[in-house]
Each structure stands twice: as structure tokens, then as C-alpha cells.
Amino acid sequence: MWKYIVKRLLWMIPVLLGIAVVIFTIMYFCPGDPATAILGNSATPAAIEAKRIEMGLDRPYMVRLLEYLNQVFLHFDLGTSYFQNQPVMSGILYRMPYTLTIAVLCMLLQIVIGTPLGITAATHQNGFADRFCMIVALLGVSIPGFWLAMMLVLLFSVQLGWLPPYGVGGIQYYILPCIANAFAGIASQARQTRSSMLEVIRSDYIVTARAKGLSERDVLYKHALPNALIPIITVVGNGMGMMLGGTVVIESVFSIPGIGSYTTNAINNRDYPIVMGGVLFLGAVFSLIMLLVDVIYAYVDPRIKAQYEGQQKSFRRRKKANG
């Protein structure tokens, strides 16, 4: 199992390398000039060109790309902000707790609310509870997160005055952002849980468990749910990535100083090192989350763990035979 984890960690290197190349290429060909954004439209062409040379923006694409990859992967340096003149890594690390707090809280909401909704829908198929849960799921995948965020602010902050509309502080500042960001994930979780549970509860061993006289609660939570967890865990992992991506919009709406708003402001200011560093950092976090999901697979499903162990034993036998 450890060899598999190390192998997956090594596979993250080409993945992050690809992300770095793609985001650098997008930023290189993106309209707009950072030198003009810094000096303003009133600057003379000579001053702008001198600033471009100072910032290294006049060099060819391949030269700048290789320098950026060398800087990131060999020196672990995400560069320096054009406008703030501060290391991008320090800016990301300062803002990381806000973004991860929102993402983790959203993931918990997705699991705690979405999973029971899906189980309820599956156990009351075609009934009122099933249709209600699926209407909630349909709304979740249909309503844009930024629109829902603004409606929540209008209702709970402007009209009722119950919750703060923006900023950071206590847990009350995270309620509206997390609801707006997690709604789509709750919907996806409910739909996948319903689908997985419907497939499992029709199995023969579930009929046998009921025939033995087990309570419906034991049948659902001790027999059906553990065997339906693999697709559900996949949705949780993908949902975590969606939560991280959603913070780009949510943090801007609620003025939360996280990585999302940090990146959005950098896009508006043509501060390309921050944009590239933010995307690369979120890509690394999502890769680690998917690795964690694969490891959880092995502990939830003994067949997957046996497959990993079988591959390792086969590798040892071949190595011993060749050696």
C-alpha cells in the first residue's frame, strides 16, 4: 500500500507540470499588458517598454516558460507579485486558512446533508420524500453559486439582519458562504447516494438480511450503506475540488481574503505570478485530495486493498525469480 502511495505522489509531478505549462501559456497569450496596468494608460510607450524589459516580459515564450518551470519545480518559488512586490508563496500561505476553512466546512455540509437526503430518497422511492429530495438536488445543480450567494445576503443580511454580509470573524461569517458554495455539492451527493443505494438495496444479500429479521436501520446502515460507499466517496472527493474552485467566486462575493479572492484580484490587475501560483497551489491540493480518496477506497473495500497487496506480492515474486 505504501508503494502505491509513493507511486501516486510521484505521478503528481507530471500532473503539476502540465498544470504549470497550461496556466503559463494561458497567461502568456492572455490580452492585456502588466507593464501598462502598473504604469497606467498615461505612461509613454518608451516607459512601458522599459518596464516590460525590467519585468522580463520582452523575452520569448519558451525562455520565460523554462525559467518559470525551473523557478517553481527546482527552487520551489512561485515568483513575486508585480503589484505588491511580495512573494506569491507567502501571500498564498497567509490566505490558505480562510480558503481551506470554507472548503472543509462545505465538504462536511455535503456529507452530513447530502448523504441522508440520498438515503431517504432511495428508501422512499417514487414517494413524497424521494420527489422532495430530488427537487432539492435539481435546484442545487441548476442555481449558480454566485446568484445564490447574493440572494442569501439580501435575505439573511439585508432584510433579516441575522448574519454578517461580508468579511471574516467568528463562525457566523462562514455560514452564508458555506451554504452558497456547498449547495451544488449537496445536490450531487444526494443524487449519487440515491443511485448507489437503489442499486444495493435490490441485492440478494439485502433480501436475506431482512429475512433474518434485522431491523431496517441495521439493514441500511450496516449492510447497504457500506457497500454503496465507493461511488459516494468519489463524489465527496470531486466535491472537495469543486468547493476549492467555488471559493474563487464565493470569496469575492463575501469579501473573504482567501486564495480565491486573491487570484480574482490578480486577474483584474494582470498580476500573472499570483494567478499562476494560485492555480498551481489549488491543483496540488486537489491532487492530494484525490490521493486520499484512493487510499480510503482501500480501507472501505477489502477487494481493492487485496488487489494492491496482490500486485505487491506478484512484484516480489517476479523480483525474486529474476534475482
pLDDT at 312: 56
Note the pLDDT of residue 12.
81
Q: Give the list of residues 6+ apart from residue 143 with CB closer than 8 angstroms, or none.
A: 183, 184
Largest CA distance in the chain: 86
| Number of Cβ atoms within 10 Å of the Cβ of 85 | 7
Backbone angles phi, psi at 80, to 5 degrees: -120, 140
Q: Cell 501559456 sits at which residue?
A: 25
Give the pLDDT of residue 86: 85
Q: How far apart are CA 7 and CA 302, in angstroms?
A: 20
| Cα 218 versus chain centre, distance | 33
How far is residue 23 CA from its own chain's centroid? 17
pLDDT score for 56? 80
Under 8 Å between Cβ of 250 and 192: no
Per-residue confidence of the chain (323 residues) as pLDDT tens digits? Answer: 667 677 777 878 888 888 889 988 888 888 777 887 777 777 788 888 888 888 887 888 888 888 888 888 888 888 888 888 888 888 888 888 888 888 888 888 888 888 888 888 888 888 888 888 888 888 887 888 888 888 888 888 888 888 888 878 788 888 888 888 888 888 888 888 888 888 887 777 777 877 887 777 777 777 777 777 777 777 777 777 777 777 778 888 888 888 888 888 888 888 888 888 888 888 888 888 888 877 777 777 666 666 655 555 555 565 555 55
What are the backbone dihedrals phi and psi of residue 87, each rounded to the nearest 5 degrees, phi first?
-60, 135
**Can you give the pLDDT at residue 14?**
86
Residue 155's SS3 state is helix
How far apart CA 183 and CA 136 sit, in angstroms, is: 9
Residue 5, burial from CB neighbour count under 10 angstroms (0-12, 13-18, 19+)? middle
3-state secondary structure of 300: helix
Rounded alpha-carbon distances, angstroms, from residue 64 to 82, 164, 170, 277, 280: 16, 44, 43, 15, 17
pLDDT at position 13 is 83
Instruction: Report pLDDT for 147.
Output: 85
